Structure 1
């Protein structure tokens, strides 16, 4: 399906290397936008996370960047065709290029649904490799960028496989960042966690706060948690 209709916006994902996915919509609905005025979405893809954030916080301005030209072009058009076009801007850059061009930019919130296949068998399509595959240095560079471009009370929020989340929780302190909240996501109540939505900031808390989130209550039946979270976005709820 190339056109995806949300309640308040439409996503055209034709040809986009990273389609709308559960990870992205969970991050878009869960990230803490309440006090954020300036927000950066790294690896925006179709622009769905940025659009969900714009719907949730009408006072924020969102920069959305993607290194892939097709993704950039699609997100730009999706933004222009939305009710929220005045508070969204797409940029065709990697995050390192973007910050080189904008060294003084500071954000209250940086979000990303990043590529996370480390050292895995790659696709013959280069665009899919960019959107899904990466290496450890990518995450170290991301932590450094967040340290330099978050406001003092800002947050970096990522949706990640559990193993990469644990790696970053152990590494972030080397960059002056601390994990302060973790939402542990599983598909079914009796299954292992498959993702973390993990939040880092410059402020160290006494302990990491955990929450639990389950997507399905049984085969093909979404949980009440999931329906409640996404009822303002998905037409099916």
Structure 2
């Protein structure tokens, strides 16, 4: 497969990116929720695919995308500039911690590295993209609590066990779980991911939970998956 991934309304060059387009990213890009966000931040944008999907979905939103890896940041910037959403997309090369938190964002999303305290990948750039530790999530939550508007939402896609830990971490910064989408590959298998929505406003209503199944059979996407991604993918 070439380095260019073609969507219906944009293309993504994946060259120079340690982490390629994956199911986690496109699920978050398609399932992230907020009513008419004005300002969005994508943390760890990689190829830029999530930011591009959100630019397509939210046609008035201004989107900042931060990426710590210089080569991936250069690729994402090029992908943004080649898209019809270029004027609403802004690439920031560096750590999210270099962004001045100022109650700015309605929505913050991230498909973060999640191999917490595991054996590190010998490839330095893949290690940077895939591995992290608990301090990363403490910092991410603390930053988000400061950078979100009063009714803002932080949405992350994580392995289920890690999602539980992050929800606990978030409570210390007054971010509470308001929605969870639990993802499984097949209807009869265990859940593998959780998309969690953490809201800044402490007067949130009761948390809602739902499930999402990717495949009906091996190599056969579920109708839910096809419906969700039909406005993005050329074929499913």
What interval of TM-score do these two structures reach, taking the shorter chain for normalisation? over 0.9
Aligned to 1:21: 22
Aligned to 1:124: 122
Structure 1 residues 206 and 105, CA, compared in 2 at 3 Å: closer, same or farther? Answer: closer
Distance 2:112 2:220 in 1: 27
Aligned to 2:219: 220
Aligned to 2:85: 84
Match of 1:46, SS state, is coil
1:148 corresponds, among 146, 149, 162, to 146
Aligned to 2:62: 61
Structure 1 residues without counterparts, runs of 5 or longer:
none
Aligned to 1:162: 160
TM-score, normalised relative to structure 1: 0.96
Q: Spell out the pairing of 1:124-203 with structure 2 (5 A cutoff).
A: 124-203=122-201
Structure 2 residues without counterparts, runs of 5 or longer:
none
Distance 2:71 2:194 in 1: 28
- Give the superposition deviation at 1:207: 3.0
Aligned to 1:110: 108
> In 2, are the aligned partners of 1:33 and 1:57 still within 8 Å (CA)?
no
Distance 2:22 2:234 in 1: 16
- Give the superposition deviation at 1:121: 1.2
Q: CA RMSD in A?
A: 1.0
- Give the superposition deviation at 1:17: 0.7
- Give the superposition deviation at 1:54: 0.2
> In 2, are the aligned partners of 1:33 and 1:56 still within 8 Å (CA)?
no
Number of equivalent positions: 234
Aligned to 2:47: 46
- Give the superposition deviation at 1:14: 1.1
- Give the superposition deviation at 1:103: 3.9
Distance 2:6 2:39 in 1: 26
Distance 1:203 1:22 in 2: 30
Structure 1 residues 103 and 162, CA, compared in 2 at 3 Å: closer, same or farther? Answer: closer
- Give the superposition deviation at 1:97: 1.5
TM-score, normalised relative to structure 2: 0.97
Deviations for 1:150-170, whole angstroms, at most 9, x for unmatched residues? Answer: 000110000000011011122
